[in-house]
Amino acid sequence: MKKILVIYPDWTLTKIAIFEDEKKVLEGTLNHDQNELSKYEKIIDQLDYRKESIKDFLNKLNLSIDDFDAIAARGGVFLPMPSGTYVVNENIVNYLATKSPMEHPANLGATIAYNLSESSFKKPPVFMTDPISVDEFIDESRIAGIPQLERLSRYNALNMKTVARYASNELKKDYFECNFVIAHLDEQISIGAQKNGLMIDATFPFDEGPFGLHTTGDLPLGDLTSWIFKHKSKCKEKDIRSRFIENGGLLAYLGTKNLEEAIKKATKENDAKLIVEAMAYQIAKEIGAMAVVLEGKIDAVIITGELANNEYFVRLIKNRIAKLGVVMLYPGTYEIEGLAYGTLRVLYQLEEFLIWEGEKVA
C-alpha cells in the first residue's frame, strides 16, 4: 500500500488530502487570512508561510513527511508541455520561483512539496500531474484569425483529464482509444475536445467560448473595439480586463455570480430566466462545436464542475445535446484525486513519469 500526501494551493486556501492507494482517508482545507497573504509582494513569497501551515496540520495528526511514500502536488504555470505525471526536481522549482510566465498560486504546489521533501529524512519523491500548461492542440486549433495572435491551450487539464479517465473506465474502454467532448462548468468554464487521450482543442474561459459566472466569453469584436476606445481615457488596461474577466457574464446581467441565486431569480423574473437559459444555450452550442472538431465520432459528452451539481441547469444543457449520444455527469471537481491517481500510476509502474528539463521533456 502506498501512502500519498496531496497538496493543492489556491488563491486564499490550500487543500490537503491523504490517500492510501486509491482510498482518500482524509481531506482538509487550510484557509489563509487575506491580511496575512497581502504582506507578501509576490505569490511565490508565501512559500514558507504555507509550508508551515501544512506542517502544523500534519503535526496535529501526529504525522510527518517521512510517513508518506510520495507527495502529489499541484503543478504550476510553465511553457507549453505534454500531459502526464512529472517528477518534481530542482529545475521545476527554480523555474516556478523565478521564471514562470504568470503569477499564480499553482506555482506554490510543487515548490512547497519539494521543500517539504528535501527537509525530511526520508525525502519522498514529489510528482505533479497535468499542470495548467498542458498543450496538445492540433495545428488547426491554434489559428486565431490574424497571424499576430494565436489561440493558446489554457484550460483545467487536471480535472478534465481525470474525469475522462473515469468515463473511459465506466465505458470499459481504453482511455487512449476514447473521444470525449468535456464541459468543465465551474467558476471558469472550458469546453474541450479530447481525441485518443489528447485535448486537441479547448476554449479559454477568459476570452472565448460561452459566458460564465463572471466571464464574458465570446464578444462581438466590432462593438467591443468601439467600447474600448470610447472608454480608454477613463480606464486603464487592467480596468478594461477586469470589466470582462471579473465582472461580466451572469454577474453583469443579474448582479450575482451564484448560479443557485440566479435560478431563483429566474423563477420569478422573465429577464433572469432568459439569461440563465442563454448561458446553458451557449454551453450547449460550444459542446456541439467540439463534437464537430471530433467529426461527430464521440464516445460521450462529459459534464463536470461545481455547476454540474445543479440538476435544472444541467437539464437545460442536456435537452439541446441529447442527440449527440451518451452524456455522462461527474459533478464537482476531481483535482485532488487526479493528483493522487497520477502519482499512483507512476509508483505502481502503470505509467512512466516525465522529466521536465526547461523546454525539453524526457
With contact defined as beta carbons under 8 Å apart, do 282 and 211 qualify? Answer: yes
Dist. CA 75–CA 109, nearest whole Å: 6
* Residue 362 pLDDT exceeds 80: no
Is the dihedral angle over the CA atoms 331, 107, 73, 27 positive or is it negative? Answer: negative
Residue 74's alpha-carbon distances to 15, 84, 199, in angstroms, are 10, 13, 19
Dist. CA 18–CA 13, nearest whole Å: 17
Which H or E run contains 200? strand 198-202
With contact defined as beta carbons under 8 Å apart, do 54 and 30 qualify? Answer: yes
pLDDT tens, 213-265?
999 999 999 999 999 889 887 888 888 888 889 999 999 999 999 999 999 99
- Grid coordinates given for 115: 521543500
pLDDT tens, 253-302?
999 999 999 999 999 999 999 999 999 999 999 999 999 999 999 999 99
Q: Are strands 3-9 and 70-73 parallel, antiparallel or unpaired?
A: parallel
Q: Give helix then strand counts, H and E, for the chain.
A: 13, 13
pLDDT at 263: 98
* Count, residues in the chain: 362
pLDDT tens, 43-52?
999 999 999 9
- b/e map of 234-254 (b: 16 or more CB within 10 Å)? eeeeeebeebbbeebbbbbbb
The domains found in the chain, sorted by start residue, are: 3-135+336-361 (3.30.420.40), 157-332 (3.30.420.40)
pLDDT tens, 143-184?
999 999 999 999 999 999 999 999 999 999 999 999 999 999
pLDDT at 116: 98
- Closest among 112, 132, 108 to 120, alpha carbons compared: 112
pLDDT at 360: 66
